Structure 1
Amino acid sequence: MPPPAPGDREARRKDVSEAVWAVLADKGFGGLTLRAVAAAMNGSTGMLMHYFPTKRALIAHALDLLEVRTAERPRRARPAEGLPSVRAILLDILPLTPDDTARNRIWVSSWDLALADEGLAGEQAGRYARLRGMVRPHLEAAGRLHQLGDANADAEQLAAAAVAFTHGLVVQALFDPDRFPVDVQTAMLDDFLASLGPGAGADRHLSRRPGLPGSAAG
């Protein structure tokens, strides 16, 4: 099959990306194959080979597409400098809506493939670095505004801790949504952020809200 003309190629690129996204949403990265994408387009694997000559090329495109879709999703307004903006950013990550849940499922399904490929793993590490970089300026502002218990806290380290906490909560919520519904996820995030603030010390305990994991009702 001859390669598509430049104009046709650009015209079909969006269709191909939409088909890739449809497969990801339905089957995750485990079901992402040239055959599955071709079926979603009612096309042939031969046609797709002009776009993705290898399975790795298909996966790399899917990861880039997922990052773009994640960046373009509706986001909460940044209410104020410092910790309120950190809270808004982290809430945008959590699976609090059906769309957020579906997107997080796709991300988690990509990890096995990324871990098995040094290049993809490096790209994924870069994505985490960009996320930490998004959070860090707001934590620096929190320090200037005396919203942190430690005025000299390392903002980079705090950003890493915040991202690690949030993504850990994402995984638990995906696997056990009944135990980690929206209100519990939000309460746990608020407790985490409160632990960074003034008055937080070694004797501080997470509040035992009804339904929180580990509580009497949990």
Structure 2
Amino acid sequence: MASGYKVPDLPLFDASSPGGKMWVRFEEEIKRSRFITTLARADSRERALALVDCVRKEFPDARHHCFAYAAGRPGETAKVGQSDDGEPHGTAGRPMLSQLLYGGVGEVAAVTTRYFGGIKLGTGGLTRAYQNGVKEALALLPVTEKKVFLRARARVDYAHADRFYRLLPRFQAKVAEESFGESALFTLELPEECFEACRLALRECTDGMSELVPAEEKG
């Protein structure tokens, strides 16, 4: 199973308390146009759009607020979105999203604000500007590893219960639910990357009588 993944080492964006601790920024001037790229952590479309609204309010006189977000795991396309916000089609949102998807970081949103300087950059120049803004902002972004937890079930004979309990700390596993009948049925929460090792250890310490299975499967 896949292990955890990198996310911004920032609080999830909250529109009720925006500020410098919620994002990182990169700014550059290209042919008199000012580009301000804001990156923040967002695990949903709603958080990403809240960031866009917040940046619009901060820079209300800017001509464009182009954005992109990749709110899932790194490279995952199920929770993505982008907008050119009035720039020529495909010159802003798409290159920004491409940088996010290949940046190796999940749960991230980007807004690039542009103050037009009077000199047109052309489609190629715009694409490079928006792409580079996100690239440079990503280089400034602090990251941390997000552990993915899953639920798993195990049915354990009472004769092996003590061994079972002693096993849990080795794999950072916690009992979320338990029920007792002819045998004990446990629902555990543990890091995704620990599942396979825990499954093998449980089988060994119960002489093959217990099996750890993902919670959606029947134990």
Greater RCO (CA < 8 Å, at least 6 residues apart): 2
Question: Quick check: which one's helix share is greater?
Answer: 1
**TM-score normalized by structure 1?**
0.25
Question: Quick check: which one's strand share is greater?
Answer: 2
**TM-score normalized by structure 2?**
0.25
Radius of gyration: which is bigger? 2
